[in-house]
């Protein structure tokens, strides 16, 4: 599965009319991961009552509901989704609602926010560089060893004419 991460900011899912629930308490942060796109909601206050979202494709196909009891929603189709956010109370009475939209470009991208790969931790980068340096050192050592072995086999030991003549004369004298 292709893992692509992004954070989607600026979607205002609810205008809260009740004084008992603060808007920042129910404003979610949208985190997009995976393929197909999976939207995870992180609530500012998970105990906010009756927070609901409805995802509708703009061509009329209803995609589904998500409430505070759900933590994520998966987009399976590309298209423009209208996000309906509402805050309700016991009995289902709606206190306030607002709409916004997000465009799912394909099964792994959203138009909001910069879609980017998660950054590589510095420790991983350092270990990669150390591994590359070790590999380079090994290649150099093997190359030096191979070249010295070639030098030894290419140049057999030569016996000089002088030393062989001296040995012959020594034998004759003896």
Q: What residues does each domain of the chain span?
A: 5-110, 122-173
Q: What does the pLDDT read at residue 127?
A: 78
Q: Which of 11-15, 33-37, 163-167 has the lowest mean pLDDT?
A: 11-15
Q: Tell me the per-residue pLDDT of 74-121, one tens digit each, with 9 for 90 and over.
A: 555 555 554 444 444 333 333 333 334 444 443 333 333 333 344 455
- Give pTM, 2 decimals: 0.24
Q: Which of 9-18, 24-33, 150-159, 160-169: highest mean pLDDT?
A: 150-159
Q: What does the pLDDT read at residue 156?
A: 60
Helix ranges, 92-160 (H):
122-154
Contact present, 52 and 88 (Cβ < 8 Å): yes
Contact present, 45 and 27 (Cβ < 8 Å): no
Residue at token pair 């004084």: 19
Q: How confident is the model at residue 12 (pLDDT cuts 50, 70, 90)?
A: very low
Q: Which of 70, 74, 102, 68 is nearest to 86 (CA)?
A: 68
Spatial distance between the Cα atoms of 86 and 58, rounded to a whole number of angstroms:
19
Distance (Å) of CA 37 to CA 2, 126, 157: 10, 32, 73
- 5-110 under CATH 1.25.40, yes or no: no
What share of the chain in percent tops pLDDT 90?
Answer: 7
Q: What does the pLDDT read at residue 152?
A: 77
Strands, E assignment, 29-158? 29-33, 38-42, 51-57, 62-67, 72-74, 79-88, 94-106, 109-110
Q: Tell me the per-residue pLDDT of 38-52, one tens digit each, with 9 for 90 and over.
A: 554 444 444 444 445
């Amino acid at each position: 599965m292709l893992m692509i991460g992004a954070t989607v900011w600026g979607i205002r899912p609810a205008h809260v009319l009740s004084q008992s629930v603060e808007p920042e308490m129910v404003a979610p942060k949208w985190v997009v991961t995976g393929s197909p796109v999976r939207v995870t909601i992180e609530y500012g206050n998970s105990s906010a009552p009756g927070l609901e979202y409805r995802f509708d494709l703009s061509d009329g196909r209803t995609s589904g509901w998500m409430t505070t009891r759900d933590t994520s929603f998966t987009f399976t189709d590309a298209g423009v989704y209208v996000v309906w956010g509402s805050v309700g109370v016991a009995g289902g009475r709606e206190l306030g609602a607002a709409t916004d939209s997000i465009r799912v470009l394909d099964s792994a991208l959203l138009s909001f926010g910069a879609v980017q790969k998660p950054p590589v931790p510095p420790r991983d980068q350092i270990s990669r560089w150390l591994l590359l340096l070790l590999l380079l050192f090994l290649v150099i050592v093997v190359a030096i060893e191979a070249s010295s072995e070639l030098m030894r086999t290419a140049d057999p030991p030569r016996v000089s004419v002088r030393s062989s003549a001296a040995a012959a004369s020594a034998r004759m004298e003896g």
